[in-house]
Structure 1
Amino acid sequence: MTRQDAYGNPITTESAAAADHYDRGVRLFLAGQFGAATEFEQAIEQDPGFALGHAALARARMMSADMPGAKAAIAQAAELAPQADQRERQHIEAMNLLLSGQPKAARQAVLAHVRDYPRDALVAQLCTNIFGLIGFSGEVGREAELLAYTSALLPHYGEDWWMMSMHALSLCETGQVDASLRLMEQSLALNPDNANGSHFKAHALYEAGDTAAGRAYLADWMRGYDDRAVLHGHLSWHQALWALHDGDKAEMWALVDRSIGPGAAKGLPINVLTDTAAILYRAELAGITVDPARWTAISDFAARFFPETGQSFADMHAALAHAMAGQGDRLAHIAETAKGFAGDMVRPIARAWGAIARQDWTAALSELAQVMATNERLGGSRAQRDLIELAYVNVLVRLGLTEEAHRSLQTRRPVLFPAPPIHDLG
């Protein structure tokens, strides 16, 4: 028997209970809330032959850093796919390409799939967000492509809280902050529990330079957010960043130790690595002393979870951690072997981190200058790539090029210009 999911797509299951669990799982997953995997598991318990339930479980397990479980689930989905319809088979194939380490092929599969099935949200979301297949494409203009992608999908979703939040982020990352905030408020009014919406609202408030509003908003919203949920650690990073900009060192360190750093955060390893390395270095830029043991801990974490290169956004932060921890062999490995969607940019950045660690500012400037024009290729949001912008400005300051440092900040990241979070910039 064919039923329909909450987005009106036919799903091949005879069990109404399986369909209900599936819909609840999709809602939790799209909202960045904890518990989606459990709902998908219960859907499969109700109907073991529900192919799309296994595919959804694979995606949920992937986002819980359970890759063996994810691969087992997608293999089961693929085995059951011949019993499903065309949309479901294509859905499963896109997930299979992603989980088999073929991001370019997965991206093309998603783009083709949503032309025929735009409301297949679990497939559509693979190319949304700054951490999606477009965001991590390593291409110049990825932000414009992301905006074009969500712009094309938005009319198919009507008053849908999830798609509104995805499009609002696209607006934010292309500089349309006011429009982003308006749409985000509409999204959150429809589903206040949408952690993706809260996350993207935090980005818009950051881009607006509204630290006080951002701190107040997240302090209130985070009270009810499960610390096992995928965005808990990263939203805590946003809080820590605002605390740093506010000069609230005690709160910044409390957030790092409670929710961001290794052993504290329960999210994805890539978030633990990138968020921790970024906040530690931004603290140093602001003139705050960072215990060397913190750098050692995040370097060890990076070596454990990202021993080989290939995920450029992670590699860039791993290189920073290794450089600041004095782990020359680990740093050299990244500088010499970096591959992946922006491996060609990771190599000079890794060398720059090494030069910065030994205070060779001239060498650091030479290396960083190679990546400043197109640093969006590295992935991450504008807020996350401020790490590179601020490192560049700091190098200029250390070389005595203060006027150029001010000019760089004012032209490239004017939102940070009124109160630059760099010690001695003035």
Structure 2
Amino acid sequence: MRVARNVSPRAAPGQRETLKPSGDLKPDLTTIVTRVSAPPEPRCLVPAPRRTRPTVVIVGAGASGTLVALHLARTAGGRSTAVDVVLVDPADRWGRGPSFGTTDDQHLLNVPAAGMSVLPQDPAHFVAWRTRENPENGSDPGAFARRREFARYLDETLTDTYQGPPGDFASLTHLRTRAVALRRTTSGMVVATADGRELDADAVVVATGLPAAGHAWAPEALTDSAFFVPDPWAPGALDVVRRDRSGPGDVLLVGTGLTAVDVALSLTDAGNREDRVVRAISRNGRFPRRHATELKLAAIPDVSDWGDDLPSILDAAARHLATVRRDSGDWRPGADGLRFQVSTLWDRLSESDKLAFATEHAGAWNVLRHRMAPSSAALVAGLRDTGRLVLDAGSVLGAEPLPRGGLRVRVATGDDSQTSYDVGWVVNCTGPRADIRTLGDPFLDDLLRPRGGAALAEVATAGMGVRTRNGRLVDTEGRTDAPVWTLGALRRGELWESTAVPEIRSQALAVATSVLDTVAPQPRRLADGRLVSGHHPAARPRDPLGLPLSTTAEAAAAYNAGLERLMRLQDDVEVPLREAVAHDPDFALGHATLALLGHEAGADADVQASLEAAQRAVVTRGDERERSLVDVVAHRVRDVRHKGARALMNHLATHPRDILAVSAAVPTIAFSGVTDVQQEAWDLVEGLAPAYGDHWWYISLLAFTRQDQGRFEEAGLLAESALSCEPSSGHAVHALTHVMYETGQHESGRVWLDHWVAESGRSASHRAHFSWHAALHELALGDTEAVRQRYYSQLAPPTVTGVRALIDSGSLLWRWRMTTSEAAPPVQPVLDAVDVDLVERPQTPFVALHAAITLAGADEHARLAALARHCRSSSEPAVRTVVATVCDALLAAGEERWADAVALLDDVLPVLVQVGGSAAQREVVEETLLYCLVAVGAAERAGALLDARLERRPSPLDQRRRGDLSVTVG
């Protein structure tokens, strides 16, 4: 790997330059070069179309360009693909730009640290970096870091990436010059720079953002004045204002967004005149709202029925915000959740509706969406209270110079009158000019210049950037064949929300992946086994993770729809799968998937017929992975616990990106998995990281693993990151529900979960389990009436039957009986809704445990004793030992032999983890122990158990129980 920074030697005018790895560039006094010996070129399975490594030129080295360079290296390293990356930007360092170039420590990020990781698969990355930098104060995920601190984080992360393993395949060069033009050649693109270079590129990424502040509102008399600051983010722009002591002390800010907040803080601190009053005006006369002191989960709405016209969408959005505020006491989670659906809603609008929103409603949205850090809001409130900061609605009409410096500015106020202010300075805080056609930027103008009958780019709505297809530029003829991509602010016209780091990091990863797929496509395998170029027209269709499918495009589309529903934990997975095999009756993988889901996930499928169809089809059409998976399904149908588990793990060792295989292997609410051993399940999920990287589905699975490990903060961040990519991810929601329960967030957890189920989770499978989680929150709050209503409406048979009735309904009723004095609903209907074999002859430790609990709840002591005998004869060690002991303890409790029950439960609790399931599910056994301790008169010991639990998490129910015990002991 080689990294070259700040390379700026001039080429002769018109000189054509093909960039080499940065070690070939001769350093001068402004060059910092880091060299690490480069490895041999990676072996290629297919000859590359070019003899040299592909070169990607990124125009712009601010946050967007830096993030693209970062993900190019990480993605290239993961693929063992060589690539040379060139950043073109006159800035002296990458990762700055207008947003993060400030050196004022009062300028804070307007997103908490938890949302600012540059790595989607590691949402705690920035928090961890801050913790290393500042162990005492950097670990708070809800903190709002300094902007310059984030710039340093970007800088160090990019540098470390290229100096680490990804740098074995990627080189990075920073050219300190400005790109001014772009033209297409027969082999790629050429970027022309202001210093006369011409850079050959296989692909170009336009990451300029909006490079010019807009001040078209300002009259000529103002723009011509030396006392007008057109761009407060220009280096040193505010220094002279802070030093000025000669003219009027007051300063007028035009614009009242986050820029105005930062500028106001900079111009009123200790380094400024004490007599200064900062006046801020805008058309609406509103400052941004403040962030909440404590982080809350975003309430993401289901917008499928919100309509496609602006009035309908605005009405639905208002209802959503009102509902969230009513249910949670705060509108902010509603606004944060709406943010994730904005691009979907924006895409539905007509051009006229988009223009109407941009001109009439954007200001109101921005006030809610782009909020102040709480500490900044407190400072602003203090300045306003003391009269040093004044906020008004108004617009500038004219300006004239004052005799001793400064300006008299005429302002139209909101009541159709005029006033004037004598100020020392006027600072433009209206932000960048949105219409790229008016920026006067040579490079962007060149993108819009027609050539050969078409321009490389076409402007998007209201000139807010350019049109793309998933980030790749669409020319004025609707084509996307030029290897040019963009992201960030230049996609605002087609996405609306496209300027914050959470959006840009996802776009950067997508752009990096698309670029490498284009300039260095991975080889693909044909049905006959031949390896061909990734662009080969005969290459087979792919599944959602890129694995080839031996079927038709039509069948593949239906099959992928089914897999995506499985990944999101949605119901009716078998419907599109049946469509797939109807389109292609010889689609072996389609038949095999139906057989597996019918056997293990309760899908409506003829398991044996589907398996036989898969076995017939795969003989004539199927690659090695597909043959292996069909064989796995056959083994699992015959023996899911032993030979089937071994076959599945062997398959995963060779094919870790096989979605169906991973789904069946990992213990979740959808599948029992291949192991009940907690550490083995953790190792399985963590071992898949290299195969999945940033994918939201894998992050969702990892989030659940992290909560199982007690790493709740990390689990929450991972789950939120996954939900920001896929709001319907049931695995991510499941992880978050556990996090909220284990950290005592019972009221907010119940409200958030109910909202998700009603919105993004409308199609969720296993809704009963999510209802069980909500009921646990209500039980912990001591609200048994709410638990009763939820049970009868969402958990009682016939709404819930089968194994879920045992695991969710039966266990809830037993927990209710163990923790409260109020009568619970009868358990017998639950038993009646479950197959007898599932209750009396369960095959897995987890199901056996819940069969025992449900039988105890129904006072079916004879059947419970028979279950205990069945467990002791089981070949499963955990069933034979752990579950059998629980059965004996429940029998003892049923016969009021409390001391025996306590002794047995004391023996079994340390090894209860062997049965599998989550800590929240296994806690029902500890509740049984607490009940028995109180019954036997061991109140002090019961109190100690409750104290230990209350140290882990608050619970009104447990606090009340603890208080009752104290009265008993006293």
Match of 1:85 among 623, 626, 630: 623
The residue that corresponds to 1:197 in the other structure is 732
Contact 1:312/1:340, CA 8 A, preserved across alignment: no
The residue that corresponds to 2:827 in the other structure is 295
Give 2:866's aligned amino acid.
Answer: H
| Separation in 2, partners of 1:61, 1:175 | 33
| Separation in 1, partners of 2:837, 2:762 | 21
2:596 equivalent to 1:59: yes
The residue that corresponds to 1:99 in the other structure is 637
| Separation in 2, partners of 1:250, 1:133 | 32
| Separation in 2, partners of 1:118, 1:321 | 38
| Separation in 1, partners of 2:693, 2:844 | 35
Pair 1:28–1:295, CA change in 2 (3 A): same
The residue that corresponds to 1:360 in the other structure is 897
Give 2:594's aligned amino acid.
Answer: L
For the residue of structure 1 that corresponds to 2:701, the secondary structure is: helix
Contact 1:409/1:417, CA 8 A, preserved across alignment: no
Q: CA RMSD in A?
A: 2.4
The residue that corresponds to 1:349 in the other structure is 886
Pair 1:302–1:311, CA change in 2 (3 A): farther
Question: Aligned runs of 1:12-51 on 2, under 5 Å?
Answer: 12-13=550-551, 15-51=552-588
Give 1:383's aligned amino acid.
Answer: A
For the residue of structure 2 that corresponds to 1:230, the secondary structure is: coil
The residue that corresponds to 1:127 in the other structure is 665
The residue that corresponds to 2:611 in the other structure is 74
Once the 2 structures are TM-superposed, how far is the Cα of residue 247 of structure 1 from its aligned partner? 2.0
Once the 2 structures are TM-superposed, how far is the Cα of residue 291 of structure 1 from its aligned partner? 4.9
Once the 2 structures are TM-superposed, how far is the Cα of residue 228 of structure 1 from its aligned partner? 7.3
Pair 1:417–1:340, CA change in 2 (3 A): farther
Pair 1:418–1:216, CA change in 2 (3 A): closer
Contact 1:131/1:379, CA 8 A, preserved across alignment: no
For the residue of structure 2 that corresponds to 1:369, the secondary structure is: helix
Match of 2:851 among 309, 315, 318: 318
Pair 1:132–1:101, CA change in 2 (3 A): farther
For the residue of structure 1 that corresponds to 2:642, the secondary structure is: helix
2:274 equivalent to 1:274: no
The residue that corresponds to 1:330 in the other structure is 863
Pair 1:19–1:102, CA change in 2 (3 A): same
Give 1:257's aligned amino acid.
Answer: Y
Question: Deviation digits for residues 232-278 of structure 1, max 9, x if unmatched?
Answer: 01000001111111122222112211221221126xx2221111121
For the residue of structure 2 that corresponds to 1:11, the secondary structure is: coil
2:847 equivalent to 1:309: no
Question: Deviation digits for residues 124-143 of structure 1, max 9, x if unmatched?
Answer: 122223458886634xxx22
Name which one, 1 or 2, has greater alpha-carbon Rg.
2
| Separation in 1, partners of 2:674, 2:916 | 5
Question: Deviation digits for residues 50-97 of structure 1, max 9, x if unmatched?
Answer: 000011122333455258723332232123222311111111222222
Contact 1:296/1:325, CA 8 A, preserved across alignment: yes
Contact 1:134/1:145, CA 8 A, preserved across alignment: no
For the residue of structure 1 that corresponds to 2:606, the secondary structure is: helix
Pair 1:359–1:416, CA change in 2 (3 A): farther
For the residue of structure 1 that corresponds to 2:782, the secondary structure is: coil
What TM-score do the two structures reach when normalised by structure 1?
0.91
| Separation in 2, partners of 1:157, 1:240 | 34
Question: Aligned runs of 1:380-391 on 2, under 5 Å?
Answer: 380-391=917-928
For the residue of structure 1 that corresponds to 2:541, the secondary structure is: strand
Question: Deviation digits for residues 347-394 of structure 1, max 9, x if unmatched?
Answer: 111111122223221121122123111101112111100101221122
Between stretches 227-236 and 247-256, larger displacement belongs to 227-236
Match of 1:286 among 814, 819, 828: 819
Between stretches 229-238 and 305-314, larger displacement belongs to 305-314
2:704 equivalent to 1:169: yes
Once the 2 structures are TM-superposed, how far is the Cα of residue 286 of structure 1 from its aligned partner? 2.2
2:536 equivalent to 1:3: no
2:738 equivalent to 1:206: no
For the residue of structure 1 that corresponds to 2:594, the secondary structure is: helix
| Separation in 2, partners of 1:16, 1:181 | 38
Q: With a CA cutoff of 8 Å and minimum separation of 6, indicate the structure with the bigger relative contact order.
A: 1
Pair 1:410–1:74, CA change in 2 (3 A): farther
Contact 2:547/2:658, CA 8 A, preserved across alignment: yes
Pair 1:161–1:34, CA change in 2 (3 A): same
The residue that corresponds to 1:188 in the other structure is 723
Match of 2:784 among 245, 249, 260: 249
| Separation in 2, partners of 1:356, 1:303 | 26
Pair 1:413–1:43, CA change in 2 (3 A): farther
Contact 1:57/1:73, CA 8 A, preserved across alignment: yes
| Separation in 2, partners of 1:413, 1:12 | 55
Contact 2:628/2:651, CA 8 A, preserved across alignment: yes
Aligned residues: 419
Pair 1:97–1:346, CA change in 2 (3 A): same
Pair 1:299–1:35, CA change in 2 (3 A): closer
Once the 2 structures are TM-superposed, how far is the Cα of residue 225 of structure 1 from its aligned partner? 6.2
Between stretches 233-242 and 60-69, larger displacement belongs to 60-69
| Separation in 1, partners of 2:560, 2:548 | 12
* Structure 1 unmatched ranges of 5 or more: none
| Separation in 1, partners of 2:948, 2:781 | 23
Pair 1:287–1:146, CA change in 2 (3 A): same
Contact 2:782/2:956, CA 8 A, preserved across alignment: no
For the residue of structure 2 that corresponds to 1:10, the secondary structure is: coil
Give 2:811's aligned amino acid.
Answer: A
Say which structure is richer in helix: 1
For the residue of structure 1 that corresponds to 2:608, the secondary structure is: helix
Question: Deviation digits for residues 163-206 of structure 1, max 9, x if unmatched?
Answer: 10001111110111111111111101110011121111101111
| Separation in 2, partners of 1:420, 1:405 | 14
Contact 1:129/1:169, CA 8 A, preserved across alignment: no
| Separation in 1, partners of 2:875, 2:804 | 18
Once the 2 structures are TM-superposed, how far is the Cα of residue 122 of structure 1 from its aligned partner? 0.8
| Separation in 1, partners of 2:888, 2:953 | 26
Give 1:330's aligned amino acid.
Answer: R
2:960 equivalent to 1:415: no
| Separation in 1, partners of 2:632, 2:624 | 12
For the residue of structure 2 that corresponds to 1:97, the secondary structure is: helix
For the residue of structure 1 that corresponds to 2:827, the secondary structure is: helix
Pair 1:44–1:191, CA change in 2 (3 A): same
Say which structure is richer in strand: 2
The residue that corresponds to 1:149 in the other structure is 684
Between stretches 48-57 and 278-287, larger displacement belongs to 278-287
Pair 1:195–1:132, CA change in 2 (3 A): closer
Between stretches 381-390 and 227-236, larger displacement belongs to 227-236
Match of 2:772 among 206, 230, 237: 237
Pair 1:375–1:296, CA change in 2 (3 A): same
| Separation in 1, partners of 2:674, 2:547 | 28
| Separation in 2, partners of 1:173, 1:340 | 27
Contact 1:237/1:275, CA 8 A, preserved across alignment: yes
Contact 1:130/1:136, CA 8 A, preserved across alignment: no
Identity %: 26
Contact 1:134/1:146, CA 8 A, preserved across alignment: no
